[in-house]
Amino acid sequence: MSDLPRYLPLSQRPRHDESAVSGDWAPRLAVVLEKLAAMLEGQSADARTTVYAAHPAVRDDVARLLWRLRANRRARLGARLRRREPLSLSDDQAAVLRSIARDDRRRALGDLAGAVVTTLDVASATQTPVELDAVTLGAVAVARALSAPLPIRAVLASVTLVSAEGDWSVGRGAPQVAHGADIVRFLYGRTGLPPVVTE
């Protein structure tokens, strides 16, 4: 007999302690923001200006992230209705990021996703290695896979991208092992299909 019924709602699957499960992503967001702040701090203002000039989309990502994490619900709704956020950058972006990381406000998965993608964009533009937690990358990847644009969902229909670092995957086809960060970059349209990890 199939064990599928064990995974259905109201099933007889084994019970686990889920008291630590929360919809608040603030602790994971704080870790990502600290890493992004450290990357930005590691560059002089001139070097950062050069990077932003060469990669204007990355500059906009950082500005959008800072705006989003400081805006209240009403401001976000207004920006959505206007179809654009006001984009501007302060000189001390690292200090602003650290201040937001210490904020005790509840954070949604969308906030974490924005921070993860921006951190990966900055790491790529500055050629700085960054290590992000496998669970954080997995949560962002799974959420994005559910709402990705049609071309990306079409790829996921024929391939399953399996994280080399964590116990998560997205897709429905033949398994292909790749680094979690590369999977997230692909899902957000930053790169093509991630390279296969052979070891």
Overall number of domains in the chain: 2
Q: Which of 126, 143, 168 is the last residue of a domain?
A: 126
In a domain, 114, yes or no: yes
Structure confidence at residue 1 (pLDDT): 42
| Region at 67 (left for phi over 0; alpha for psi -120 to 50; beta for the rest) | alpha
Q: Which parts of the chain have pLDDT scores under 50?
A: 1-2
96/161 same-domain check = no
Structure confidence at residue 162 (pLDDT): 96
110/49 same-domain check = yes
pTM of the model: 0.82
Check: CB of residue 64 under 8 Å from CB of residue 87.
yes
Structure confidence at residue 3 (pLDDT): 53
Structure confidence at residue 46 (pLDDT): 86
Structure confidence at residue 18 (pLDDT): 57
In a domain, 147, yes or no: yes
Residue at 132: amino acid letter: L
Which structural domain range is residue 149 located in?
A: 134-187
